[in-house]
Amino acid sequence: ELNISWNHLRGPGAVAFARGLEANIFLRVLDISYNGFGDPGASAVGEALKTNNVLEELSMSNNRISAVGALSLGLGLRVNQTLRILVMSRNPMRGEGCFGVLKSVQENPTSALELLDFSEIQVDREFDDLASSVKVLLPALHVKTAAHKVKYKKELPSVFTPSLPASVPK
């Protein structure tokens, strides 16, 4: 389990870190939220997800990921078979990015995803229709959006509970 949230990993640093995930054989839970990975970092994480067969829980909230980055990340979700929880809340990907990620999950019948969290991101009717059809293929999958608060059967580990960095006074 590793929490590197609030570390200002951006640009080349975010890409280099994500590339390291490709060879990861131990890390099951990772929180990289509040870093500013952006689209290049999201794309690198997508590449890592294609080969990583260990990671189960990933939080990428507040990382400045647009629809373009979300679509790149989705390429990894098309083949990944181990990720169970993906938290992408509070990214500027809009409904288009959420749709692309969910579409990639739909194209992976062996997906292990149980929770896709797009909290505080508005989606449209087309997304809702896609979510309904994906639910038929992957009945264990719960999709959370700004409009759809779902109760997930497992409490998220403390690593996913956003906390203020040590430098911020309480």
Tell me the mean pLDDT in the region 65-77. 98
pTM metric for this prediction: 0.86
pLDDT of res. 153: 54
DSSP 33-92: -SS--HHHHHHHHHHHHHH--S--EEE--SS---HHHHHHHHHHHTT--S--EEE-TT-T
The yes-or-no verdict on residue 168 having pLDDT over 80 is: no
Spatial contact of 152 and 125, defined as CB atoms under 8 Å apart: no
**Given the structure tokens 């999950």, which residue do they identify?**
105
Q: Other C-beta atoms within 10 Å of 44: how many?
A: 24
Q: What is the pLDDT of residue 148?
A: 72
Return the pLDDT at 167.
Answer: 55
Domain 2-160 adopts which CATH fold?
A: 3.80.10
Residue 164 has pLDDT above 80, yes or no: no
Q: Does residue 145 carry a pLDDT above 80?
A: yes
Domain boundaries, the chain: 2-160
167 in Cβ contact with 67 (< 8 Å):
no
**What is the Cα gyration radius of the chain?**
15
Residue 122 above 80 pLDDT? yes
